[in-house]
Amino acid sequence: MTMEAPRQTYWQIRLNRVKEALQHNNFEAYLAEDPAQAKQVIENEILANLKNVRRVARGDSLSFEGTGMLEVIHNNAAYEWIDPFEAGLADEKSYERGRQALLADLFFTGCNALTESGVLVNLDGWGNRVAGLTFGPRHVIVVAGRNKVVPDLETAMFRIKNYAAPINAIRHKTKTPCAKTASCEDCNSPERICNAWTITEKSFPKGRIQVVLINEDLGI
Ligand code: SF4
């Protein structure tokens, strides 16, 4: 037997527990084995049951991009696609679209970390992603790989500040110390990407936030 099968089973068990914890916290939650299955879940189990969805937007998320749903929404004329992160967009235009995204009917995003007790933990530079997660869009779909699951809030915040943020800084070529040291220096840089935290303990209203947990390591 290869290592992959036991690893998959291990994560199925853990992700099932996280799914139950999320449901206890008023989130809808789904499991998928890979991004392709996540796409099917989103199309057949979530979108098929949502009414009056016209304006669709997204926060910056590699996990969401990995599902292929971006192309599905973009190419479907039934949706008005608001994409703050369209390639080649100037910062000013991107920021304006980020504002418009907060009034979308449906908002796709990822998640920096997710605790075993079913709490979503995120940290933003602009705040557009955590804003949309918290209030504005009528429906939110969060896509998260198994690597985002952590035991508790403290570990979540450590992971975000000392792992996800430095990698994001390197990815976006920001002039912040963490891009050089690979750990958080709690900088005062004008390009600091860590400005607004959210700890989403419950979905309000119930079911507004739907989380798709994927049994693969995805995103950062
Ligand atoms: S606070 Fe500054 S140094 Fe720390 S992770 Fe964020 S951008 Fe990097």
Please choose from 171, 193, 197 the residue to mutate so as to test ligand 1's pocket, defined by most ligand atoms within 8 A of CB.
193
Q: How many CB atoms lie within 10 A of CB 138?
A: 16
187 lines ligand 1 (CB under 6 A): yes
Distance 91 CA to ligand 1 centre (A): 20
Domain 4-214 has CATH 3.40.50.10420: yes
**Residue 127 to residue 142: CA distance in whole angstroms:** 16
What atom in ligand 1 is closest to the CA of residue 161?
Answer: 5
pLDDT score of 156 more than 80: yes
Token pair 């910056």 is found at 60
The per-residue pLDDT for 77 is: 96
Tokens of 55: 């304006």
Distance 70 CA to ligand 1 centre (A): 29
Q: Which residue's CA lies nearest to atom 7 of ligand 1?
A: 192
**Residue 88 to residue 67: CA distance in whole angstroms:** 22
Mind listing the pLDDT tens digit for each residue in 77-116? 999 999 999 999 999 999 999 999 999 999 999 999 999 9
Q: Which residue's CA lies nearest to atom 2 of ligand 1?
A: 187
**Residue 118 to residue 123: CA distance in whole angstroms:** 17
Name the band, by pLDDT with cuts 50, 70 and 90, for residue 177: very high
The per-residue pLDDT for 4 is: 86
CA 111 to chain CA mean position, Å: 3
pLDDT score of 1 more than 80: no
Rounded mean pLDDT of 120-131? Answer: 97
Q: Which residue's CA lies nearest to atom 1 of ligand 1?
A: 186
What atom in ligand 1 is closest to the CA of residue 177?
Answer: 3
Name the band, by pLDDT with cuts 50, 70 and 90, for residue 163: very high
92 lines ligand 1 (CB under 6 A): no
Mind listing the pLDDT tens digit for each residue in 26-78? 999 999 999 999 999 999 999 999 999 999 999 999 999 999 999 999 999 99
The per-residue pLDDT for 42 is: 98
The per-residue pLDDT for 88 is: 94
Please choose from 183, 184, 195, 220 the residue to mutate so as to test ligand 1's pocket, defined by most ligand atoms within 8 A of CB.
184
Domains of the chain, by residue range, sit at: 4-214
Token pair 């049951």 is found at 49
